[in-house]
Amino acid sequence: MILPVIENRRSVREFSAREVPEEALLDLLRAAQFAPTGMNNRAVEFLVLRGREAKEKLFLLLEPKQPFVKEAPLVIVPASDRRKLQIPEPNRSIVAAADLAIASSFIMVQAVSLGLGAVWKHVMAEFTPRVAEAFGLAPEFLVINAIPVGYPARQPEPHKESEFSPARIHRERW
Ligand SMILES: Cc1cc2nc3c(=O)[nH]c(=O)nc-3n(C[C@H](O)[C@H](O)[C@H](O)COP(=O)(O)O)c2cc1C
């Protein structure tokens, strides 16, 4: 049953100083790489930032500046190669943003089951080129977010049943 894990996934923006073990990082990236991709393109790759300078660089690039980007022990930046947009082929994506969002979701859910917390830090479209340039990605890569990860400074409240709204469900027609 994965619902309890999903209920416990909250955006975590304050982290303890404890490092994220490499094995836990690899489990996050396993979850991401087992996520579905359009036409099974598997074009999502991952920039992993652990060093203070690299995280500071990313923090300074993004708006609004949110300190958790540099304070988290680990930041994952999923990136999808969207070259050859019109001609789908292996390792190239024609649905890059959707692929990135699903991979990111899997990372954030897997984080919970490892006792970790994470948050989606959005990268606005106009910021993607500067992120690519600063970190050496080819300009054809799409980046839509960065995911700071770490052990939560305090345990967040899980989602509650009261947040579930049957009024948002439309059956057969709107
Ligand atoms: C597409 C998207 C963009 C987001 N961008 C940011 C962001 O830039 N900074 C931030 O602090 N949180 C960001 N969030 C996190 C949301 O604020 C958060 O998911 C929402 O408030 C619900 O809280 P929860 O994640 O604890 O359930 C983003 C979430 C999504 C899905």
Q: Write the pLDDT tens digit of every residue in 136-156.
A: 999 889 999 999 999 999 999
Which ligand 1 atom is nearest residue 159's CA? 27
pLDDT of 82 strictly over 90: no
Indicate the angle between helix axes 52-61 and 128-135, nearest 10 degrees: 160
User: Does residue 70 surpass a pLDDT of 70?
Assistant: yes
- Substitution candidate for ligand 1 out of 112, 122, 123 with most atoms within 8 A of CB: 122
d(CA 45, CA 170): 36
Distances (CA, A) of 158 to 6, 9, 10, 11, 168: 9, 7, 7, 10, 20
The confidence band for 83, taking pLDDT boundaries of 50, 70 and 90, is confident
Q: Is 86's pLDDT higher than 90?
A: no
- At 119, list the tokens: 């948050």
Q: What superfamily would CATH give domain 8-153?
A: NADH Oxidase (3.40.109.10)
Span from the CA of 11 to the centroid of ligand 1 (angstroms): 7
Q: How far is the CA of 120 from the centre of ligand 1 (A)?
A: 5
Beta bridge partners of 145: 122
User: What's the longest Cα–Cα distance across the chain?
Assistant: 53
Residue 88 has pLDDT above 60, yes or no: no
Cβ distance 36 to 87 under 8 Å?
Answer: no
Which is it for strands 74-81 and 145-150: parallel, antiparallel or unpaired?
antiparallel
Q: What is the predicted pLDDT for the residue at 41? A: 86
Cα first-last separation, the chain: 30
State the closest ligand 1 atom to the C-alpha of 10, by its place in the atom list counted from 1: 26
Q: Check residue 20 and report its DSSP letter.
A: P
Query: In this structure, what DSSP letter does residue 147 have?
Result: E
Q: Which amino acid is at 56?
A: E
The verdict on pTM exceeding 0.75 is yes
- The domain spans of the chain are 8-153
pLDDT score, position 14: 98
Compute, in angstroms, the gap from residue 139 CA to the centroid of ligand 1.
Answer: 26
Distance 172 CA to ligand 1 centre (A): 30
**Residue from 114, 131, 127, 115 nearest 47 by CA:** 131
